[in-house]
Amino acid sequence: MSFRLLPEWAPQDAVMLTWPHKDTDWASILASVEPVYVTLCQHISQLQYVVIVAHNEQLKTHISALLNNADVNLSKVIFVVAPCNDTWARDHGPLTCADDQGQLCIKDYIFNGWGNKFEAQLDNAINAKVVSELSNANNQYQAMDFVLEGGGVEMNEHGTLLTTSECLLNPNRNPAYDKQAIESLLKEQLGASHFLWVDHGYLAGDDTDSHIDTLVRFAPENTLVYVKCDDQSDEHFPALEAMEKQLQSFKTPTGDAYKLIPLPWPKAVFNDDGDRLPATYANYLIINSTVLVPVYNDEQDALALSQVQSAYPQHTVIGINCLPIIHQFGSLHCITMQLPRGFLKQD
């Protein structure tokens, strides 16, 4: 029985969020960050369930009050109480595969804080708790002996896996594995039949070693949506120009070029310490019938929304102000993980 990682636009039961709290690095900016999470819950809960991982019962009560005050339908919100180090659900969350009959296999990979940069022991235990409490009994569950973050890989409907060499080949993840060994393993575990390795591109302020979800994303019908820097004075210009040229050289399994849709480059954003923040429009979230796109109060926001709309013409596209989120060096896709149709227990 062959399982394959589902593309993000496959039908979903829910989106998982791990809520920020006072014992995380978010502590000083919770007042500006929590409203972004509430806004996400407002949009997601209209289309599917929201699974919220809450650090403790006290935080669960607090979140419930926030959502109730925002008129979020709490019958569409499912809580899992589990302690967490941080809130990057994309990277500690489960990767869900399916076979041709729709049977799901939930893969629980090791999250090591992006190469042991940050404490992640609590985050690494979240998936087992979520699966034990919420997963449909028909689903398979596998704890994987391999370090892999959801933000580091993309899969399309044809079984092609998209990633960056900077992340997956970094010795701070799986030092015993070379490129050939990683491809062999991901063919077996995620059902990948082809690979696209992006060798260029980064974002200043990014702790992930160039996760693909900040740079290039798959869209249906052999489409790649990518960030394009047109400011030659920007530090990112050489790497992103090289990345664009490499994307132009990529071929589908049938030998055709990919359709490329560039996303605009927002103006540089800095925090109070002068650190550049990783503002990227590529870090969007696909949910049922809708794409939620990070925006930054930038003159390029409208063009970004239009370009994403062209990549997903069957979806509604909505902008979410993510300026508060990037102050912790991530964005919308980074704080979410979709749970595909069939993941949750039947009502």
pLDDT at residue number 29: 96
- Residue 165 burial (C-beta neighbours within 10 Å; 0-12, 13-18, 19+): middle
CB 138, CB 102: distance < 8 Å: no
The pLDDT, as a whole number, for residue 1 is: 53
Give residue 347's pLDDT.
Answer: 65
What is the pLDDT, as a whole number, of residue 346?
Answer: 81
Comparing C-alpha atoms, which of 64, 58, 67, 15 is closest to residue 38? 67
| N-terminal to C-terminal alpha carbon distance within the chain | 27
pLDDT of res. 191: 97
Q: Looking at the whole model, is its pTM more than 0.95?
A: yes
For residue 271, what pLDDT is reported? 93
The Cα–Cα gap between 212 and 162 comes to 7
Tell me whether strands 160-164 and 194-198 are parallel, antiparallel or unpaired: parallel
Residue ranges in the chain whose pLDDT is less than 70: 1, 347
Consecutive H or E run containing 75: none
Q: What DSSP character marks residue 169? A: T
- Kindly list the structural domains of the chain, giving each domain's residue range(s) and its CATH number in brackets, ordered by start: 4-340 (3.75.10.10)
Judge contact between 263 and 300, C-beta under 8 A. Answer: no
- Contact status, residue 247 vs residue 219, Cβ threshold 8 Å: no
Where are the strands (E) in the chain, listed by range?
4-5, 12-18, 49-54, 77-81, 95-98, 104-110, 140-147, 153-155, 160-164, 194-198, 216-219, 223-227, 259-263, 285-287, 290-295, 316-321, 336-340
| Alpha-carbon span 280 to 295, nearest angstrom | 8
CA 41 to chain centre: 16
